[in-house]
Amino acid sequence: MKPANRLAFIKEYYFSRKLQEIKEMQQNGIDVINLGIGSPDLPPPYDAVAQMQLAAKQENAHKYQSYRGADELREAFADFYQRKFQVEVNAATEILPLLGSKEGIMHISMAFLNEGDEVLIPNPGYPTYTSVTKLVGAKPVFYELKEENEWQPNFNELEKQDLSKVKIMWLNYPHMPTGVKASQHLFHDAIAFAKKHDILLINDNPYSFILNDNPESLLAYPGAKEVGLELNSVSKTFNMAGWRVGAVLGSQENLQHILKVKSNMDSGMFLPLQLGVAVALKENEDWFKNLDFLYKNRRTKIIELVEKLDCQLEDRDLVGMFVWAKIPEAYQTSEEFSEHILQTHHLFAAPGTVFGSGGEGYIRFSLCVDEATIEKAIKRVEA
Ligand SMILES: Cc1ncc(COP(=O)(O)O)c(C=O)c1O
């Protein structure tokens, strides 16, 4: 069957293809160490799993669930935003739970974009912003993030462009893949820019609680709810990537538009997952301290590996679960270097170009691997 025309503009997700290739190498007896993907290997909070198991035995647990998410989950997200970001959100009207934040990118795009609308997307950045924009018939317009600007958008440059067709701007701070935080004035400037040009500003914020001593939300800034939305997720914060639970937060009016799309696409989320996540969101400071401790130790080891591979690091205090490094000068492209370490050392790390042309010359290593495995990788390189 001939697929829809829209598929001509996108490719299968890079990691979907590459992980298949790695699996085939493994089936052929090659022990590939996968440092490519940001899927937390650590367990979620014990109480959250216990609550999920208990809830699975409730009588009403297996029915279709509310399109707006369980009250307990919305209230727990609201309380979490209050405690962690000092942001007030109305649990009844300003939070919409999602099946992970990735699906929110599609729902938001379907709710707000018409064919031909333009979307400002970070380069480098999370590839889903681009593919979803293309799937809905809108046009990606990349804004370049550069190391010399500390990977922050340059609004003066953007002001010189024709912005008349721009409807959405994606922000993602802390930024993936570079691991930088928003500069002090970024959110403030972005809100003013969005207001001036009537653009919907969305901060995709899944990495705030990984190796970050100052988590920030766009919604903490004056005027944010009028022009903006924030996506958040428990995937990284609570090691629950496979649970597929996230949320979009913003004004009631904007969320109503998103609900119109979402309620026509799924029929609610499995209740025990929602109740388990509600428990995770109440975790105290010990959870965050422990996570920090584990990832800090891993980061130290990954940096050792990265240096053994002759890559260069600009910053050793990156936020999030990746180390972003420059490839050695001897290699022309990120893909060439990634392929070299895969074939020579059986180590997989993501070439920077997976995240757009702005990632050329860089490679991304994940911290989602235990210390013993990172040590094994170091020994391989030394050998
Ligand atoms: C920048 C960014 N946004 C969104 C997501 C999706 O996360 P979720 O598991 O909440 O769908 C990821 C996952 O890797 C990501 O890196």
Would you list the domain boundaries of the chain? 5-43+285-382, 46-280
List the one residue out of 349, 87, 285 whose CA is nearest residue 203: 87
Cβ-proximal residues to 368 (8 Å cutoff; 6+ apart), any chain: 37, 38, 39, 40, 41, 321
Q: Per residue in 14-27, is it b (16+ CB within 10 Å) or e — as a string?
A: ebeebeeebeeeee
Distance CA 268, CA 328 (A): 48
Whole-number Å distance, alpha carbon 172 to ligand 1 midpoint, is 10
Distance CA 206, CA 210 (A): 9
Q: Which of 126, 130, 170, 173 to mutate to test the pocket of ligand 1 (most atoms within 8 A of CB)?
A: 126
Domains 5-43+285-382 and 46-280 share a fold: no
On the question of pLDDT at 319 being above 80, the answer is: yes
204 lines ligand 1 (CB under 6 A): yes
On the question of pLDDT at 272 being above 90, the answer is: yes
126 lines ligand 1 (CB under 6 A): yes
Helices (H), 8-70: 14-27, 46-55
CATH top class, domain 46-280? alpha beta
pTM of the model: 0.95
233 lines ligand 1 (CB under 6 A): yes
Q: Which of 108, 181, 235 to mutate to test the pocket of ligand 1 (most atoms within 8 A of CB)?
A: 235
- pLDDT for 16 equals 82
Average pLDDT over residues 136-160: 96
Which tokens belong to 256? 């109503």
121 lines ligand 1 (CB under 6 A): no
Distance CA 52, CA 4 (A): 39
Share the mean pLDDT of the chain: 96
Nearest atom, ligand 1, residue 232 CA: 10
State pLDDT tens for residues 356-380: 999 999 999 999 999 999 999 999 9
Which tokens belong to 11? 């490719």
Using CA positions, which residue lies closest to atom 5 of ligand 1? 102
Whole-number Å distance, alpha carbon 36 to ligand 1 midpoint, is 14
On the question of pLDDT at 317 being above 90, the answer is: no
Q: 5-43+285-382: which CATH architecture?
A: Alpha-Beta Complex (3.90)
Distance CA 307, CA 296 (A): 17
Distance CA 112, CA 103 (A): 14
Nearest atom, ligand 1, residue 233 CA: 10
List the one residue out of 290, 318, 296 whose CA is nearest residue 44: 290
Nearest atom, ligand 1, residue 38 CA: 14
At residue 345, the 3 state secondary structure works out as: helix
Whole-number Å distance, alpha carbon 70 to ligand 1 midpoint, is 22
Nearest atom, ligand 1, residue 234 CA: 10
100 lines ligand 1 (CB under 6 A): yes
Check: CB of residue 325 under 8 Å from CB of residue 99: no
- pLDDT for 11 equals 80
- pLDDT for 18 equals 86
In the structure, what pLDDT confidence band is assigned to residue 314 with cuts at 50, 70 and 90?
A: confident
Which tokens belong to 174? 């802390």
CA 51 to chain CA centroid, Å, is 26
State pLDDT tens for residues 233-270: 999 999 999 999 999 999 999 999 999 999 999 999 99
**What φ, ψ does residue 37 adopt, rounded to 5°?**
-115, 145
Whole-number Å distance, alpha carbon 287 to ligand 1 midpoint, is 21
